[in-house]
Chain A
Amino acid sequence: MDILNAIVVLSNFVLIPALAYGSQIALGALGITLIYSILRFAHFAHGDIMAFGTAFVILGTWGLQAMGVSFGPLPTALLALPLGIAVIILYLLLADRMVYRFYRKVKAKPMIFVMASLGVMFVTNGLTRLIMGPGERRFDDGERFVFSVREFREWSGLAEGLALRSSQVITVVVALIAMALLFWFLNRTKSGKSMRAYSDNEDLALLSGINPERVVIITWAIAGTLMVLAGTLYGLDKSYRPFTYFQLLLPFFAAAIVGGLGSPLGAIVGGYVIAFAEMGITYAWRRFFNHLLPDDWAPTTMLQIIPVDYKFAVTFAILVLVLIFRPTGIFRGKTL
């Protein structure tokens, strides 16, 4: 029995990766939830716009690298973030002006908005592939590890190793900062309060003199920033491929729904719930229990509940359970 080694194994393979992955999902789900509560439709172009924004961060990174600029031990991509964010905010505002604003004016049904977002999705996807191609791109540089498995073993003298990648630390730190700023904005500033008022009751907000177009612009700007952050962090932590970004749509929506659509706090909690469930259920627990149980109790099988290939099934199962037992989500989101 060796509790310390068991915890180290678990942290290395489940807890730390899930924390980083959960932060990435939370950022994406926050965007989904904000767009849903202000513009009142499910934004299907989210994953593709995220890929598009990340493409500009990557181009910026390559540009900076070519100029010989580096960010010391941190990835250069962090310096290129503002470029990606600016491009995406402009792009979203352009899309809003050309596509969504018309439907807002004629008060179209939410499904028409969703259809329109499918159109935007196609265009964005085409642009991304035109710029970056469909293949995988790497753009991470700087220090790879805060500490590696070998360093940890030498330092602690334990049998099991633990690696902490810098991309994981950066992800969690950036996500926490972004979330803190977002909550400060929503709760403390006048614009944030007007957003919440508009989300709560559109008519009442209009009566109290809130300009809906301004609220919409702020929403796109925030959602765009979150998208580029989530996309860049995911790309640094794992890898950049436009199609994988499209597939992230499912965990994003699942997280937003599980937390309660329209609730920012819910989106964050939902993101971590999805990430930890996905990692926990697809992890082979054998090594963990090998350390924890006495030798003659040691498990003979992998103790993996389902193979990693079916991680979507975990997300889906959580979604279904929430749909059946608590359709409004953990934090009592909207029901239409």
Chain B
Amino acid sequence: MTFAIRNIFLFGLMALALVFTGMYQSWPLALTIVNMALISAIMALGVNMQWGYAGIFNVGIMGFTAFGGLAAVLIAMPPVPDAWAAGGLGAIMGLMLGAATIFAAIIVYRKMAPGKLRGLSIALVIIVGYWITSMIYGPATHAISRVNPAVDGYLGGLGLPVILSWPLGGLMAAGLAFVVGKVALGLRSDYLAIATLGISEIVIAVLKFEVWLTRGVNNVSGIPRPVTRPVELQTREWVQALAERTGLSVSEMARVVELVSYAALFTIVLAILIWLAEKALNSPWGRMMRAIRDNEVAARAMGKDVTRRHLMIFILGSATCGLAGAMMVTLDGQLTPGSYEPLRFTFLIWVMVIVGGSGNNWGAVLGAFVIWFLWVQAEPAGRWFMDTITSGLGPDSDLRNHLMTQAAHTRLIMMGAALLLMLRFAPRGLIPER
């Protein structure tokens, strides 16, 4: 019982910190933190499934998140008819031909007897396949990127409601995870780590350079939103009345209402996911996963197919990260491939899971809130810290000016310290696994 009280106390403290942020800094800031923390919590849940349930070490979270984020563009943006006319068919066919080439190579590898002939045939299949693919794919994608490049230059999406992109983002990340898992799971854990690190860099490269699909570094902005814009909210009577009662300005109130509606959407998704994750963890399936994690050899001896189970949980966890990625792009209203950084999108999520308590879903959620809160608040804190320790140097000091401009980076040091301290002194995290 004390266990539950402790957890409620910890979540209560977190809520209090957010309320103080709202009262003493601003409510939009507090709600922005909440929204991003909710999304981070979903990512942390995904990582927790992989690491906490099954002991899979995935350092490619950024890749799955970014790939899921692509779904928001593919679903919600209006299609660009000219671009489709210019090369839509060719691009799609090129992709399919590329996939077919790989399939053909795999079939040849499986069906033929080992030997020189097999190697030659595979090489032949790949070279011919590559040649045909690039003949169709290259010109088509080039033509697409030439269509009105200042605004379009890409195929656009389907023009559907953006919420639909969330499950699609999950599915896309799951597909990617299936391919990566098929190759790298079942080998040692640090191989998987390197493989996922590699795939995440490749995904970012694809988003950056496949202009016909994502507009690349030109970004896709203005993705349709699932909630009403603050500009429209300002004209509503109930918003104005609410502003009057709370003493906030109308524009601030409109922003608050918008952020609260996002938060509500995200909370629903998070609640469903936690419910599912808790159900799964406490089912026979969850017990099996933990058995595999704690002693793989024994689990294998009991007749469990460890590699398959690992693949399954790897796909589930990555899909969760992809879902979060689509949600994040929805919240931002834009896809900016240049902004994905492994430190922020992979390793910070890891800090959240370790600090919160790996193996415990509530721990992952709490960790996400605590770490994201610190991450945001560390910037002003770092500036204040640098200001204080260099205040003796005088305003003209080069060292002081340099440290002040780079002060935001102290948050990285803080995150590292948090990770190291937790790992050393409370390795089971804020809310340990039961």
The answer to whether the Cβ of B242 comes within 8 Å of any Cβ in the partner chain is no
Residues of A within 8 A of B197 (CB): 249-250, 253
Does A199 sit at the interface, judged by CB under 8 A?
no
Residues A125 and B201 in contact, CB atoms below 8 Å apart: no
Which residues between 175 and 215 of chain B lie within 8 Å of chain A, taking CB atoms? 183-184, 187-191, 193-195, 197-199, 201-202, 205-206, 208-209
Q: Is the Cβ of B198 less than 8 Å from the Cβ of A312?
A: yes
Known: A122-B415, A123-B412, A313-B202. A111 touches B189 (CB 8 A): yes
**B side interface size, CB within 8 A:** 49
**Chain B, 143-194, CB within 8 A of any chain A CB:** 183-184, 187-191, 193-194
Verify if B286 is at the interface (C-beta below 8 Å from A). no
Q: What string of 1s and 0s marks CB contacts (under 8 Å) between A298-336 and chain B?
A: 000000010101101101100110011001000000011
B403 CB-CB contact with A under 8 Å: yes
Interface size on A, residues (CB 8 A): 49
- Which residues of A117-153 are within 8 A (CB) of B? 118-127, 129-131, 133-134
Q: Given the complex of chains A and B, what is the CA–CA distance between A57 and B427 in angstroms?
A: 36
A250 near B423 with CB under 8 A, answer: no
Q: Is B350 engaged at the interface, CB distance under 8 Å to the other chain?
A: yes
Q: How far is the CA of A115 from the CA of B193 in the complex (A)?
A: 12
Given contacts A111-B57, A118-B347, A133-B405, whether A254 and B193 have CB atoms under 8 Å apart is no
The contact string, 1 if C-beta is below 8 Å from chain A, for chain B 335-378, is 00000011100010011001000000000000000000000000
Distance in Å from the Cβ of B251 to the closest Cβ of chain A? 33
Distance in angstroms from B206 CB to nearest chain A CB is 8
B26 at the interface (CB under 8 A from A): no
Question: Do the beta carbons of A319 and B198 come within 8 Å of each other?
Answer: yes
Given A130-B403, A130-B410, are A119 and B423 neighbors across the interface (CB < 8 Å)?
yes
CB of A8, distance to nearest CB on chain B (Å): 27
What does the 1/0 interface line of B404-416 toward A look like (CB < 8 Å)? Answer: 0111011111111
User: Is B193 a contact partner of A323 (Cβ separation < 8 A)?
Assistant: no
| Contact yes or no, A312 B201, CB < 8 A | yes
- A318–B125 Cα distance when bound, in Å, is 18
Interface of A is mostly: helix
**Residue among A111, A114, A120, A305 making CB contact with B55, cutoff 8 Å:** A111
Instruction: Give B49-78 as 1s and 0s: 1 = Cβ < 8 Å from A's Cβ atoms.
Output: 000000101010000000000000000000
Q: Are B189 and A323 in contact (CB under 8 A)?
A: no
Contacting B406 at CB < 8 Å: which of A116, A129, A246? A129
Choose one: A42, A121, A134, A250; the contact of B347 (CB below 8 Å).
A121
Task: Tell me the bound Cα distance from A114 to B55 in angstroms.
Answer: 13
B412 contacts A129, CB within 8 Å?
yes
Nearest CB in chain B: distance from A222 CB, A:
21
A102 touches B (CB below 8 Å): yes
Q: A123-B412, A123-B413, A133-B406 are in contact. Are A327 and B57 (CB under 8 A)?
A: no
A27-42 near B? 1/0 per residue, CB < 8 Å: 0000000000000011
Known: A119-B423, A336-B188. A126 touches B195 (CB 8 A): no
Per-position 1/0 for A94-113, Cβ under 8 A of B: 00000100100000001110
Q: Which of chain B's residues has its CB closest to A42's CB? A: B190
B424 touches A102 (CB 8 A): yes
Q: Can you name the residue of chain A whose Cβ is closest to the Cβ of B135?
A: A301
Which B residues are CB-close (under 8 A) to A246? 342-343
- Is the CB of B420 closer than 8 A to any CB of chain A? yes
Collect the chain A residues with CB atoms within 8 Å of residue B198's CB.
250, 254, 312, 315-316, 319
Structural contact, B209 and A126, CB atoms closer than 8 A? no
Q: Which residues of B contact A134 (CB under 8 A)?
A: 409
**B57 — which chain A residues lie within 8 A by C-beta?**
111, 114
B350 engages A126 (CB within 8 Å): no
When distances are taken between beta carbons in the complex, the residues of chain A under 8 Å from B189 are 110-111
Do A122 and B205 form a contact, CB below 8 Å, given A42-B190, A254-B198? no
Q: Which residues of B are found within 8 Å of A211, using beta-carbon distances?
A: none
Find chain A residues with CB under 8 A from B427 CB.
112
Q: Is the CB of B412 within 8 A of A125?
A: yes
A and B contact pairs by CB, cutoff 8 A, 20 listed: A110-B190, A112-B423, A114-B193, A115-B423, A118-B351, A123-B420, A126-B413, A126-B414, A131-B406, A133-B406, A254-B194, A309-B209, A312-B202, A312-B205, A313-B205, A316-B201, A319-B195, A320-B183, A323-B183, A323-B191
- Interface pairs A-B: 8 shortest CB-CB: A122-B416, A126-B412, A123-B416, A126-B413, A119-B420, A316-B198, A129-B409, A119-B419
A122-B419, A312-B201 given. 20 additional CB < 8 A pairs?
A: A42-B193, A99-B424, A111-B57, A115-B350, A115-B419, A115-B423, A118-B350, A121-B416, A122-B347, A123-B417, A126-B409, A127-B413, A130-B403, A130-B413, A250-B197, A305-B130, A309-B209, A312-B198, A316-B198, A335-B188
